[in-house]
Amino acid sequence: MKARYDAIYRDIRESIENGTYPYQGFLPSEAELTATYDCSHNTLRRALGLLRDQGYVQPVHGKGVRVIYQEPERTTFTVGGIESFHEAEERIRLDAQTEVVALEQVTATPEISFRTGFEEGTELTSIVRVRRIGGEALILDVNLFRAASIPGITEEVARGSVYEYAEKDLGVSIAMSKRAITVERATARDRELLDLGDIDYLAVITSQTFDAQGILIECTQSRHRPDHFCFRDTAVRHRV
Amino acid sequence: MKARYDAIYRDIRESIENGTYPYQGFLPSEAELTATYDCSHNTLRRALGLLRDQGYVQPVHGKGVRVIYQEPERTTFTVGGIESFHEAEERIRLDAQTEVVALEQVTATPEISFRTGFEEGTELTSIVRVRRIGGEALILDVNLFRAASIPGITEEVARGSVYEYAEKDLGVSIAMSKRAITVERATARDRELLDLGDIDYLAVITSQTFDAQGILIECTQSRHRPDHFCFRDTAVRHRV
DNA sequence: GCCGATTTGTCCGTATGTATC
DNA sequence: CGATACATACGGACAAATCGG
């Protein structure tokens, strides 16, 4: 990314994460930072806004910008929050062995349309995958991709990263996603495909992903065994 | 709130929610909007940025700003996401009957300090509350408030909204919060206080809340019966 | 395929308001 | 009160993407 504000954001974030700007300390003032980065007031503020939104700093009017970032514990598989968009999926993919359970073409029925938001009759590629981590089947992913946007998904692609395929090979740009987290009782299929033991509830992330055009290109259900699930989030108060 | 960009954000958001700007349609161009709101390019862009961050719109370079907001179903108690900061707690409070199970003063032990992030020796007010909705005990809230920031919490206050008390009566301003969502097995206390039946897992929101100074003023665990829990979230891709 | 109009994206410089110390 | 620092807003400029002729 070439944007100035983004480079500044990343640079300051790096300094916070490596401890140059410690927890509960203050950043240099806007004036100093605009000098060191040789940028305008506006551009620096945009970078600071990103840091605030991501939970790294808390600007205090008339005083300074306080650092509130603390290293998160990484004992479980974290999704959301400070991590960037598909970083979590990436990390899971790296640590996990993926088994493709099913891969087929379907057409959106009225019921699918209602459940997913795809228009009725849309051609879809359906994938069911199991993620094994440390030999245990922990995550069941059920994806529906809009075939017109992401064509040519093979089992080969499904075993790796469909996102990487879409972005690198097809040039499709993923722009934003809406997620809902619920806790659901394990179904017969969950029990069959995952190593659940006596666990009968799963953490479920249901998400819709839109491309840069604002077109719905994917719906996913990611069903996690609860002892390996953690979702982190930072909420900034939108002043009232 | 008096900020121009905020007023514009709210006004456009309202028009999206009531259908004036329909799903998958385009907003008027920046030029038109700056004319109607009589504001600068920059100010309008800030409002549009908020709409994008909250998942209402998807700006498409060179084309326009597409509306991607869809009315969420309200079958369960939703927290997070498009809803503003403590709106969810507010709504729960209105619908729920709150029973205060415990209220006491404690001092942060090393263990509490490690678990919550409060400095060792900090004076805290501990509250345990059960939320009943439709006669069923569904949510168990365990709060730890920093007594120096929010003093004088009575059972009366605890039965209502501590946030309202802090903001309206004490003038404490809540600025941001970090949350983690996990799924945990029900403890003996959960079973005792909540109506769980044969349910043995709970959705747990663990959060830290910071004031406008960036000081940690509250830690909460909110333990929900899964069939009434839904957390919504919008993630905007931060271009790479 | 090129050009120009439209529209969003980024950045700058400046001015003013407001909170803290 | 004045100095410092963050918050908001304006107006102008140029870049980049899209679309139609």
Query: pLDDT for B2-60, tens place per residue?
Result: 789 999 999 999 999 999 999 889 999 999 999 999 999 999 999 999 999 888 999 99
**Which one has a higher pLDDT value, A14 or B73?**
A14
Task: Answer yes or no: is pLDDT of B83 > 50.
Answer: no
B22/C7 CA-to-C1' distance in Å: 20
Residue nearest to nucleotide D17 (CA to C1'): B62
Judging contacts by C-beta atoms under 8 Å, the chain B residues touching residue A55 are 176, 178
For residue A135, what are the CA distances in angstroms to A98, A130, A190, A198, A219?
A: 11, 11, 17, 18, 27
Q: What percent of chain A has pLDDT over 90?
A: 43
**Strand nucleotide closest to residue B212 (CA to C1'):** C19
**Strand nucleotide closest to residue B43 (CA to C1'):** D9
**Which one has a higher pLDDT value, A160 or B121?**
B121
Among B132-141, B201-210, B229-238, the range scoring the smallest mean pLDDT is B229-238
Amino acid letter at A1?
Answer: M
Cβ contact A181:B233 at 8 Å: yes
pLDDT in tens, A16-74: 999 899 988 999 999 999 999 999 999 999 999 999 988 899 998 889 999 988 776 54
By the CB < 8 Å criterion, does A188 face chain B?
Answer: no
pLDDT bin (cut points 50, 70, 90) of residue A1 is low
Task: Give the per-residue pLDDT at A27.
Answer: 95
By the CB < 8 Å criterion, does B26 face chain A?
Answer: no
Stated pTM of the model: 0.82
Mutate to test the interface with A, among B10, B52, B178 (most CBs of A within 10 A): B178
By the CB < 8 Å criterion, does B75 face chain A?
Answer: no
By the CB < 8 Å criterion, does B50 face chain A?
Answer: yes
Does A240 contact strand D, using a CB cutoff of 7 Å?
A: no
User: For the residues B151-179, what does the mean pLDDT come to?
Assistant: 78
Average pLDDT, chain A: 84
Domains and CATH numbers, chain B: 2-67 (1.10.10.10), 75-232 (3.40.1410.10)
* Strand D contacts in B 53-82 (CB under 7 A): 60-63
For residue A2, what are the CA distances in angstroms to A9, A10, A30, A168, B60?
A: 12, 12, 22, 18, 18
Assign residue A64 a region (left: φ > 0; alpha: ψ between -120 and 50; beta: otherwise). Answer: left
Three-class SS state of B70: coil
Does B39 contact strand D, using a CB cutoff of 7 Å?
A: yes
For residue A96, what are the CA distances in angstroms to A52, A134, A145?
A: 32, 8, 21
Task: Answer yes or no: is pLDDT of B203 > 60.
Answer: yes
pLDDT in tens, A177-190: 888 889 999 999 99
B170/C8 CA-to-C1' distance in Å: 44
pLDDT bin (cut points 50, 70, 90) of residue B105 is very high
**A58 → closest Cβ in B84, B175, B184:** B175
pLDDT bin (cut points 50, 70, 90) of residue B162 is confident
